[in-house]
Amino acid sequence: MKDTIILGIESSCDETAAAVVKNGREVLSNVIASQADFHEQYGGVVPELASRMHVDAVYPCIDDALNKAGITLDYVDAIAVTYGPGLVGALLVGLSAAKGLALVSGKPLVGVNHLMGHICSNYICFPELQPPFLCLLASGGNTQIVHVKDYTDLTVLGRTRDDAAGEAIDKISRVIGLGYPGGPKMDKAGQGGNPEAYSFPLNHMGDTLDYSFSGIKTAALNLINQSKQKGEEIDLCDFAASYQTHIAKVLLHNLIKASKQTGIKKVCLAGGVSANSFLRAEAAKSGLDLYYPSLGLCTDNGAMIASAGYFEYIKGTRHDMSLNALPSLKL
């Protein structure tokens, strides 16, 4: 069978990325220009500045990805691009670049849901992985449990009603002075800490598979403020270990419940928070048949968009030049 080569373009937040992937699973190149160091001085992503930086980086990233794959656009079967969810100005940069390339090359344009992209990182890391499975998708803007019935047939079983898990980690990370991006910094800060030193409330949403992280975040803020008022120092290492372990346990509680309800034991993790070592350690104890992407494929990247683009492309998905950025796109 002829190979299918997809160019994937991603610009939904603060990573400009382009990649070339063969048959949805084999990465020929994966180029990422991260803006994280730049946004660190502001304590978070500044949307307007992110858009401008995407403009500078997008074509060099695409060129680099094609060069590293050793091909030209002629060898690409389709151009896949994230069209949501994300920051609207940031999304528009990648989308406009993809449309321009599709127009001049005559190659099909395939819009990709960024969240589906995260799930597809697992197909790259595990070439034998096939649906059906459950996926815990936890990132900076989303936390949900997805039933992956087939490659493009996805049903959300539960989602956060307020903050995403990544957001809860990033905000507290900033408050305790670790800065941005909070996830990796808090992960590092908690290594070797006592995960039971501090406790946080369990916020289970009744019989549903939904999550809530705002109460946990507020409890952490109160704990920090009360310590300050008493003139006591919190132990950063123990605090970081306790907070992340708690979030990991909350995430896994519903995932295990979903596994029991559906009878599906095969479970993937995806999204930036799936890089978290505390989550991985708790997940390893869960008895689930567990898959998670390599660290570089947990956070935003072009390869996952090319992979998702491949499954959309072989299903027949094609978009025209009217495709617009959808900042609140859902699965």
In one-letter notation, the amino acid at residue 24 is G
Residues in binding contact with ligand KG4, number by CB under 6 A: 19
Q: Does 275 bind ligand KG4 (CB under 6 A)?
A: yes
Which of residues 102 and 165 has its CB atom nearest to ligand KG4 in the complex?
A: 165
What's the CA gap between 21 and 5, in Å, rounded?
A: 6
Sign of CA dihedral 13, 19, 23, 28: negative
Among 8, 94, 141, 293, binds ligand KG4 (CB under 6 A): 141
Q: Does 166 bind ligand KG4 (CB under 6 A)?
A: yes
Contact region with ligand KG4 (CB under 6 A), list: 53-61, 76-84, 165-173, 205-213 = 165-173
Residue 250 CB, shortest distance to ligand KG4, in Å, is 14
The conformational region for residue 159 under phi > 0 = left, psi -120 to 50 = alpha, else beta, is beta
Residue 82 CB, shortest distance to ligand KG4, in Å, is 10
Q: Does 109 bind ligand KG4 (CB under 6 A)?
A: no
Q: Which residues contact 315 (CB under 8 A, 6 or more apart)?
A: 151, 152
> Which residue in the block uniquely carries the two structure tokens 């109460």?
215
What's the CA gap between 195 and 199, in Å, rounded?
A: 9
What's the CA gap between 145 and 159, in Å, rounded?
A: 6
Among 7, 9, 13, 91, binds ligand KG4 (CB under 6 A): 13
Span 217-256, contacts to ligand KG4 by CB under 6 A: none
| Integer CA distances (angstroms), 95 to 10, 21, 25, in order | 8, 18, 23
Q: Does 300 bind ligand KG4 (CB under 6 A)?
A: yes
Residue 147 CB, shortest distance to ligand KG4, in Å, is 20
> Which residue in the block uniquely carries the two structure tokens 């289970």?
204
In one-letter notation, the amino acid at residue 240 is A
What DSSP string runs through 270-291? ESGGGG-HHHHHHHHTS-SEEE
Contact region with ligand KG4 (CB under 6 A), list: 50-58, 92-100, 139-147, 255-263 = 139-147
Which of residues 24 and 184 has its CB atom nearest to ligand KG4 in the complex?
A: 184
Q: Does 140 bind ligand KG4 (CB under 6 A)?
A: yes
Here's the x/- map for ligand KG4, 180-219, by CB under 6 A: it reads as -xxxx--x--------------------------------
Taking each helix axis from N to C end, the angle separating 236-262 and 214-229, rounded to the nearest 10 degrees, works out to 160
Which spans of this chain sit near ligand KG4 (rule: CB under 6 A)? Answer: 13, 139-141, 166, 169-170, 181-184, 187, 271-273, 275-276, 299-300
